[in-house]
């Protein structure tokens, strides 16, 4: 039985990267001896539930910038991986790469990209350095999309065999539910943390063009965020007179059950890695509309079949396409009828099969 270790710079936050790390660790337990390591966390506690079969270790009980904890973190990671005879170490996100590459010891190393190589978040020195190290010195680079894999090969000139893409999976519980689509719903749903990345400034501009024509509809936004960012969005909504149409719903523990109340899923992000919200919307039989941002939407949405892709970031065209979808109930029904076409490639079984093939072939 191989021993594998999921490594992330900091665990304990409510974010997508930690969710991916915990999901992988839990799923691998049936096949491998699994360890999970957080380089540093001020609490040392996890937000998402971790299987009792997973050996978890937080190396440093603090929250600090990478340069402050690089040397002790690298030393402790190397010691942990060697003492536990780890065969494969999988680093989640570029911020982990400096520790993974210099502290990997005898383990084979896998750099797992969480966003995409072209996102603005990748432009600071630490992120650029992390991606350079991962691309050139990890034994394998795994991206979230085929588009991003191709961009890694082009930018870093690495051998094609050293890079691949593996999607995140849709939870089985979502695929099993298969709710009936409510064609009579007059509500749009968007899910995502209130940050600049999610393009809520674009959403408000689109809404201003849409709701004069469709005053019976509402657009609901689910997700938490920093109070200043949330306050800015609330102010923008009020200033444009949209408070009766664009509603911030906050975080909802029953969110998965809410999708069935809506008629359209809309995404306005500036960039993504693999936007799971689009997959969750498809699993709930919702027609979707999204900007064709980097990366993910074009690998999830079949334009004209189960949804609409709008060139990034054409607000006028997005508003026009959204209005047409709101107006045309038959088109929404057609998109809903094809929402689950080929969604099995994002299923847990298929995704885990690719991961296990990767791990088993790393010698």
- Which percentage of the chain shows pLDDT scores above 90? 80
How much is the pLDDT for 132? 93
Residue 340: the pLDDT is: 96
Residues 250 and 279 in one domain: yes
What is d(CA 147, CA 19) in angstroms, rounded to the nearest whole number? 23
Whether the per-residue pLDDT at 175 is higher than 90: the answer is no
Distance, in Å, from the CA atom of 147 to the CA atom of 117, rounded to the nearest integer, reads 10
Q: The pTM is what?
A: 0.88
Q: Do residues 325 and 218 share a domain?
A: yes
Q: Are residues 215 and 291 in the same domain?
A: yes
Which distant-in-sequence residues (6+ apart) come within 8 Å of 328 by Cβ? none
Mean pLDDT taken over the chain: 93
CATH of the domain at 355: 3.40.50.2000
DSSP secondary structure, 172-195, as one string: HHHHHH-PPP-TT--EEEEE--SS
Average pLDDT over residues 149-157: 95
How many helical (H) and strand (E) elements, i.e. helices and strands, does the chain have? Answer: 14, 13
pLDDT of residue 123: 67
With vertex at residue 152, the alpha carbon angle to CA 26 and CA 9, rounded to the nearest 5 degrees, is 40
Number of domains in the chain: 2
φ/ψ region of 54 (left if φ > 0, alpha if ψ in -120 to 50, else beta) reads beta
According to the model, what pLDDT value does residue 182 have? 94
43: confidence class by pLDDT, cuts 50, 70, 90: confident
Same domain, 327 and 179: yes
From CA 52, how far away is CA 341, in angstroms rounded? 36
217 and 109 in a common domain: no
Q: How many CB atoms lie within 10 A of CB 75?
A: 14
Kind plus residue range of the DSSP H or E element containing 325: helix 315-327
pLDDT value at 224 more than 70: yes
Per DSSP, the three-state class of 311 is: coil
> What's the gap between Cα 235 and its chain centre?
28
Spatial CA neighbour of 78 closest among 59, 51, 55, 61: 59
Beta bridge partners of 288: 265, 307
pLDDT level of residue 359 (50, 70, 90 thresholds): very high
Average pLDDT over residues 210-230: 95
From the CA atom positions of the chain, what is the Rg in Å? 21
Question: Does 14 score more than 70 pLDDT?
Answer: no
What's the confidence (pLDDT) of residue 66? 86
Asked if 237 and 317 sit in the same domain, the reply is: yes
Name the residue with higher pLDDT: 278 or 47.
278
User: Does 121 share its domain with 269?
Assistant: no
Domain that includes residue 248, residue range: 172-343
Bridge-based pairing of strands 3-8 and 187-191 is unpaired
Same domain? For 200 and 246 the reply is: yes
- Model confidence pLDDT, tens digit, residues 109-145: 999 998 888 777 666 777 888 899 999 999 999 999 9
Q: Assess whether 176 and 74 both reside in one domain.
A: no
Alpha-carbon distance 96 to 127, whole Å?
A: 10
Quick one: 213 and 337 in the same domain?
yes
Decide if pLDDT at 267 tops 90: yes
Same domain, 176 and 120: no
Structure confidence at residue 194 (pLDDT): 94
| Strand stretches in the chain, DSSP E | 3-8, 33-40, 55-60, 88-92, 108-112, 140-143, 163-165, 187-191, 218-222, 246-250, 264-267, 288-291, 307-310
Same domain, 155 and 189: no
Residue 111 contacts residue 134 (beta carbons within 8 Å): yes
């Amino acid at each position: 039985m191989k021993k594998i270790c999921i490594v992330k710079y900091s665990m304990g936050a409510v974010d997508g990267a930690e969710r991916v790390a915990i999901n992988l660790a839990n799923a691998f337990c049936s096949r491998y001896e699994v360890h999970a390591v957080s380089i540093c966390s001020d609490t040392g506690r996890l937000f998402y539930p971790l299987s009792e079969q997973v050996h978890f270790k937080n190396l440093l009980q603090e929250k600090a910038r990478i340069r402050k904890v690089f040397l002790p973190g690298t030393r402790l990671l190397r010691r942990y991986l060697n003492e536990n005879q780890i065969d494969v170490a999988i680093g989640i996100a570029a911020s982990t790469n400096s520790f993974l590459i210099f502290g990997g010891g005898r383990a084979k190393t896998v750099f797992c990209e969480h966003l995409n190589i072209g996102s603005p978040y990748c432009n600071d020195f630490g992120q650029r350095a992390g991606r350079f190290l991962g691309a050139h010195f990890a034994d394998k680079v795994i991206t979230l999309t085929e588009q991003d894999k191709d961009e890694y090969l082009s930018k870093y000139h690495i051998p094609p065999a050293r890079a691949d893409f593996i999607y995140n999976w849709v939870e089985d519980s979502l695929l099993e539910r298969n709710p009936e689509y409510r064609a009579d719903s007059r509500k749009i749903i968007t899910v995502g943390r209130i940050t600049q990345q999610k393009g809520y400034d674009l959403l408000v501009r689109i809404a201003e063009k849409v709701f004069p024509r469709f005053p019976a509809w509402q657009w609901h936004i689910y997700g938490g965020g920093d109070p200043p960012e949330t306050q800015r969005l609330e102010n923008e909504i009020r200033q444009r007179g949209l408070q009766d149409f664009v509603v911030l719903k906050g975080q909802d523990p029953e969110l998965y059950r809410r999708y069935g109340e809506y008629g359209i899923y809309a995404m306005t992000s500036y960039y993504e890695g693999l936007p799971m919200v689009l997959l969750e919307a498809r699993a709930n039989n919702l027609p979707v509309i999204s900007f064709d941002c980097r990366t993910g939407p074009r690998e999830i949405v079949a334009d004209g079949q189960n949804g609409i892709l709008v060139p990034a970031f054409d607000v006028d065209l997005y508003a026009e396409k959204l209005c047409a979808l709101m107006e045309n109930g038959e088109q929404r029904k057609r998109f809903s009828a094809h929402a689950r076409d080929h969604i099995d490639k994002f299923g847990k079984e298929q995704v885990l099969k690719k991961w296990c093939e990767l791990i088993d072939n790393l010698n």
